[in-house]
Amino acid sequence: GLPDPGSFALVGAAAFMSGSGSIVLFVIAVLVEITGDTSSIVPIAIAAITGRFVARIFIGHGLYHDLMQVPNLPFLPPECPLPARLRIAPVSELPGGRVQLRQLKPIETREELQTLLNDCGHQAFPVVSEGHLLGLVRRIELEEWLTQSEQSALHLEEVADIAPYIVDLDFPVERAYFMFRELGLRQLVVTDAGRPVGILTRRSFLPQ
């Protein structure tokens, strides 16, 4: 007799999901787990691999890769996408490498913090005392403190990262890019003799 029509649906689902999402092994494991039929591993695997192969010929990458471009997420590919000239340049030449920073004192009042957050959209702020970097505090941590605390002033060492990753002004761009990729950094503080002069983000490494 003819095979169960559900088998064709299962094989078609494997080909479609694998081809559109570039998730071959995930599709095979999930569909076999859902059906509980180990005898279907071979047709599911063949369909998943074939679907991915065909999609790669015509498209090259999967749906999720395209979705990252829709909201302009700062995705960093394996190789630095900047021109060769910039890759060997110092980080001071990148956007954010040397800018006028919004700095915080070790102790800030509630009113000062609220005004700062209302006036700018920065996601991180260096904590500075006498020109020297003491730490880095993220915007979300300040917003949480303003929401949850009733204190009139904040000692920033309570919420700041007191040992943020830092590089000097003449640090090579390509090595800084490698740090972002391998360490999963959100910010990288650029300093000049211990004084913060810039903050790099993932967007700093994307072509403008």
**Alpha-carbon span 130 to 142, nearest angstrom:** 22
Q: Is the pLDDT of residue 66 over 90?
A: no
- For residue 69, name the pLDDT band (cuts at 50, 70, 90): low
Write the DSSP symbol of residue 3. Answer: P
Strand, helix or coil at 191?
strand
The predicted structure's pLDDT at residue 78: 85
> Which residues, in sequence order, are CB contacts of 171 under 8 Å at separation 6+?
90, 91, 190
Query: Are the beta carbons of 200 and 176 closer than 8 angstroms?
Result: yes
Residue type, 30: V
pTM: 0.67
Query: What proportion of the chain, given as a percentage, has pLDDT over 90?
Result: 57
Q: What is the pLDDT of residues 84-142, one digit of tens each?
A: 999 999 999 998 888 878 899 999 999 999 999 999 888 999 999 988 999 999 999 99
pLDDT tens for residues 138-176?
999 999 999 998 899 999 989 999 999 999 999 999 999
**Cα separation, 160 vs 103, whole angstroms:** 13
- Is the pLDDT reported for residue 75 higher than 80? no
- What mean pLDDT, rounded, does the chain reach? 88
Q: Output the pLDDT for position 64.
A: 72
Q: Are 22 and 52 in contact (CB under 8 A)?
A: yes
Q: Tally helices (H) and strands (E) across the chain.
A: 8, 7
Rounded Cα gap, residues 104 and 196, in angstroms: 11
User: Are the C-beta atoms of residues 98 and 92 closer than 8 Å to each other?
Assistant: yes
Res 72: pLDDT: 60
pLDDT band at 39 (very low <50, low <70, confident <90, very high): confident
pLDDT of residue 71: 58
pLDDT at 163: 93
- Report residue 164 as tokens: 């943020």
60 or 41: which carries more pLDDT confidence? 41
